[in-house]
């Protein structure tokens, strides 16, 4: 029997996290804590989120009895199996917690725990008078596996430790500023109680002069502190964002494919927010605390009743501020989501501007963008209202506190219990305490914001790297250069198999071609060879070694690859082809580069450019045709002079003449190399040593060109249509 805990709400981290987070919340309810990344993986999570069947399958994998039901509102209420996971709207999941007489209480991972009317509930849940729900009953649940996340303190201390000298300089400067500021009220008291009371002009001159020097010392210290803080902040900012990208590059491709551009942009902003928290707010707030403590001790020495009055009203104002900070949390999260949506749409519009204009989608896309902005504006206005309420409440209490202190201390002066100098000193202390208390409340807000940012960054930081140090390096393996698939099956979700029980061999020093209609699994097969995905059954061997035990980096270095969607960077042609390759022999480097240009037929247009291969291409370079770009991408693969070569529609953007030239050039290069070609054109595959025909994820036939034609099966049909399948 599983103990039911108080329901714990969790926000989703990214746009499509709602399904896994719903399972995570229900598991919390039954006393089991599961890692979100683990739940994503077993849900076969992608950019489009998860299907209802994937959600059901994931729940069963961790030990739930899971059932998908279609029911009406009354039926689901009568079942009384709360909490349910509901398919909400068109692309979202929420948890139904309970029904009241007029409303339904739901936990929406994107918004919080909400009470919605039954009319709104039906509108979002019903499809044809019924709604879809997943009912989970715990059977034998897996043990909790949620790792201990990096804490905000642990994360910040990791960076601050590297800059101890700068931190000590800032701390010493703040200590000097606080010490100098601490002297000011006592000097003020001396001016009134000793200087003015005894008409001692000389003492007044000395005291005023000492105040002047103290203020100069404070200002110079502030300038020095700010200079150190700017330098420290810049260095830490570079370190944080560099480490973020470094970690990102080490992550598996299948994880990176689940994110969109806005997700990464927001996490970079999160890094900057944490950097600001580390280098300014945290250190300043520590000294604000010190200032508050010291001044309160001084006030209590002067008059304990004034101290008690001050501390009582201050605690009330701090409690009010913390109440409003709690209300801010939801809006902070929602604004984060809308910023990501706006960035994604902006990126989409700018990248697809040609298609937008060609298809008359200007108004559609502008309205989408405007709707996102309006929603973000509404959220910001609501957040500003909370901020105003907080400010007005805090300011009102602050004024009440100041007036109360002035009133009581004035009465004490009249009664002869305080001197005029002591009254002014207390007024000065009260004034000096306002700023540190404001900083302290801001610090609480910054901690809350930084914790939210830390949660999002931790998701990246805590991911396992793509490669394990124990994995083998393929470059060091001396076996034959073959690729073997044994009983390999793969699906992007838990239901539809993209590859189904593949058993093939791509032999050493031979040309193997794969043909088939779009969606037959050809490109997916290549991605498995390159370790894009690891959630497959069966085994894949390269050079006789199971690739599950080989580093992804060494596989990709051993294979020259041209994918359908190859990409040119904003760099010179040479930079795109050779990257940062360093070779001891300059002649060998130039020979390799020239070979790549000639075999890919890129030399033909490079030679006509004024700067030749120093010409900048890509987003910020000259415009190249699709065929020219493809030739440079082929050249990049050839420059590696690899043992294996994979060409996925490598000449699809080329005209017949260029394609023929490149094929003729590559014949000699293919010798003593293991080559895998995917193509639709007959001219590309007819001379292959072995042709593999795929259909709906299965290998249905293979053999040489003439042999397959004689069988008059699928390959024969493809040839009849000239392999132009799309």
Which strands, in side-by-side order, build the sheet including 644-648?
Answer: 559-562, 644-648, 674-678, 511-516, 690-695, 698-703
Is the distance from CB of 516 to CB of 508 less than 8 angstroms? Answer: no
Model confidence over 678-697: pLDDT tens digits?
877 777 788 888 999 988 88
Domain assignment present for 10: no
Same domain, 216 and 106: no
Same domain, 438 and 504: no
pLDDT level of residue 724 (50, 70, 90 thresholds): very low
pLDDT of the residue at 582? 59
Same domain, 164 and 52: no
- pTM comes to 0.70
CATH classification at residue 545: 3.40.50.300
**Domain residues for 418?**
152-462
Listed ranges 21-25, 28-32, 96-100, 490-494; the one with the highest mean pLDDT: 21-25
CATH classification at residue 52: 3.90.70.10
Same domain, 511 and 439: no
pLDDT level of residue 494 (50, 70, 90 thresholds): low
Same domain, 502 and 562: yes
Domain assignment present for 472: no
Same domain, 531 and 661: yes
Is the distance from CB of 648 to CB of 608 less than 8 angstroms? Answer: no
Same domain, 549 and 585: yes
Domain count, the chain: 3
Domain assignment present for 57: yes
User: Coil, strand, or helix at residue 520?
Assistant: coil
The pair of three-digit structure tokens given for residue 231, joined into one six-digit string: 């330098």
Q: By percentage, how much of the chain surpasses pLDDT 90?
A: 3
pLDDT of the residue at 418? 76
Mean of per-residue pLDDT scores for the chain: 81
User: Coil, strand, or helix at residue 537?
Assistant: strand
Question: Where among 429, 462, 495 does a domain terminate?
Answer: 462
CATH classification at residue 293: 1.20.1560.10
Q: Mean pLDDT over residues 83-112, rounded?
A: 85
Q: By percentage, how much of the chain surpasses pLDDT 70?
A: 91
Task: Output the CA–CA distances (angstroms, integers) from residue 135 to 7, 77, 84, 109, 189, in the order listed.
Answer: 17, 12, 5, 18, 73
Same domain, 597 and 713: yes
Same domain, 159 and 281: yes
Q: Is the pLDDT of residue 527 over 60?
A: yes
Closest Cα to residue 638, out of 686, 690, 685, 594? 594
pLDDT of the residue at 503? 92
Task: Output the CA–CA distances (angstroms, integers) from residue 61 to 51, 316, 628, in the order listed.
Answer: 15, 50, 49
Q: Is the pLDDT of residue 272 over 60?
A: yes
pLDDT level of residue 487 (50, 70, 90 thresholds): very high
By mean pLDDT, which of 43-52, 227-236, 377-386, 538-547 is the weakest? 43-52
Domain assignment present for 252: yes
């Amino acid at each position: 029997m599983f103990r039911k805990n108080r329901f714990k709400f969790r926000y989703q981290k990214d746009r499509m996290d709602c399904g896994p987070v719903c399972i995570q919340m229900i598991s919390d309810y039954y006393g089991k804590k599961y890692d979100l990344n683990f739940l994503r993986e077993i849900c076969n999570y992608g950019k489009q989120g998860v299907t209802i069947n994937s959600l059901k399958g994931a729940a069963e994998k961790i030990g739930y009895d899971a059932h998908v039901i279609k029911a009406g509102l009354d039926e689901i209420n009568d079942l009384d199996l709360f909490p349910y996971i509901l398919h909400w709207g068109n692309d979202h999941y929420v948890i139904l917690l309970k029904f009241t007489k007029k409303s339904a209480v739901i936990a929406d991972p994107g918004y919080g725990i909400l009470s919605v009317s039954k009319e709104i509930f039906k509108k979002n849940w019903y499809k044809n008078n019924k709604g879809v729900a997943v009912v989970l009953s715990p059977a034998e649940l897996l043990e909790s596996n949620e790792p201990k996340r990096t804490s905000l303190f642990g994360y910040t201390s990791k960076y601050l430790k590297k800059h101890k000298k700068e931190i000590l300089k800032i701390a010493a400067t703040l200590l000097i500023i606080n010490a100098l500021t601490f002297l000011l009220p006592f000097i003020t008291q001396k001016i009134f109680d000793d200087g003015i009371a005894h008409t001692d002009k000389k003492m007044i001159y000395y005291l005023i002069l000492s105040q002047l020097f103290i203020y100069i010392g404070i200002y110079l210290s502030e300038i020095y502190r700010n200079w150190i803080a700017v330098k420290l902040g810049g260095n830490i900012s570079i370190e944080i964002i560099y480490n973020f990208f470094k970690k990102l590059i080490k992550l598996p491709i299948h994880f990176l494919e689940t994110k969109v551009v806005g997700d990464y942009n927001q996490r970079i902003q999160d890094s900057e927010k944490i950097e600001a928290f580390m280098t300014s707010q945290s250190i300043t707030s520590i000294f604000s605390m010190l200032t508050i403590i010291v001044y309160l001790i001084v006030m209590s020495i002067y008059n304990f009743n004034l101290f008690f009055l001050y501390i009582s009203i201050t605690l009330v104002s701090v409690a009010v501020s913390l109440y409003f900070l709690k209300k801010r949390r939801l809006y902070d999260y929602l604004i984060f989501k809308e910023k990501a949506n706006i960035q994604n749409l902006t990126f989409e519009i700018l990248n697809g501007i040609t298609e937008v204009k060609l298809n008359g989608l200007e108004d559609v896309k502008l309205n989408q963008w405007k709707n996102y902005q309006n929603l973000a504006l509404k959220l910001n206005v609501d957040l500003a209202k909370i901020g105003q309420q907080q400010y007005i409440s805090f300011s009102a209490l602050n004024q009440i506190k100041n007036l109360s202190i002035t009133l009581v201390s004035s009465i004490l002066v009249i009664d002869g219990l305080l001197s005029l100098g002591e009254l002014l000193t207390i007024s000065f202390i009260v004034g000096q305490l306002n700023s540190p208390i404001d900083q302290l409340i801001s610090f609480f807000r910054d901690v809350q914001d930084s914790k939210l940012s830390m949660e999002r960054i931790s998701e990246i930081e805590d991911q396992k790297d793509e490669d394990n140090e124990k994995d083998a390096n393929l470059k060091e393996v001396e076996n034959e250069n073959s690729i073997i698939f044994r009983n390999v099956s793969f699906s992007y979700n838990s239901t539809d198999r993209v590859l189904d029980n593949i058993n093939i061999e791509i032999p050493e020093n031979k040309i193997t071609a794969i043909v088939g209609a779009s969606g037959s699994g050809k490109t997916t097969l290549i991605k498995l060879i390159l370790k894009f995905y690891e959630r497959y059954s069966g085994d894949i061997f390269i050079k006789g070694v199971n690739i599950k035990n080989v580093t992804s980096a060494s596989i990709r270095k051993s294979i020259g690859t041209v994918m359908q969607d190859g990409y040119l960077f904003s760099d010179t042609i040479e930079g795109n082809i050779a990257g940062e390759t360093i070779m001891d022999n300059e002649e060998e480097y130039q020979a390799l580069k020239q070979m790549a240009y000639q075999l890919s037929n890129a030399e033909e247009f490079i030679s006509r450019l004024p700067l030749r291969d120093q010409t900048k291409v890509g987003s910020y370079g000259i415009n190249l045709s699709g065929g020219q770009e493809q030739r440079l991408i082929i050249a990049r693969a050839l420059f590696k002079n690899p043992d294996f070569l994979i060409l996925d529609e490598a000449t699809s953007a080329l005209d017949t003449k260029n394609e023929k030239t490149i094929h003729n050039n590559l014949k000699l290069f293919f010798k003593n190399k293991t080559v895998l070609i995917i193509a639709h054109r007959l001219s590309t595959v007819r001379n292959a040593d072995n042709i593999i025909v795929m259909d709906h994820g299965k290998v249905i036939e293979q053999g040489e060109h003439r042999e397959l034609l004689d069988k008059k099966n699928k390959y024969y049909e493809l040839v009849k249509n000239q392999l132009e399948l799309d």
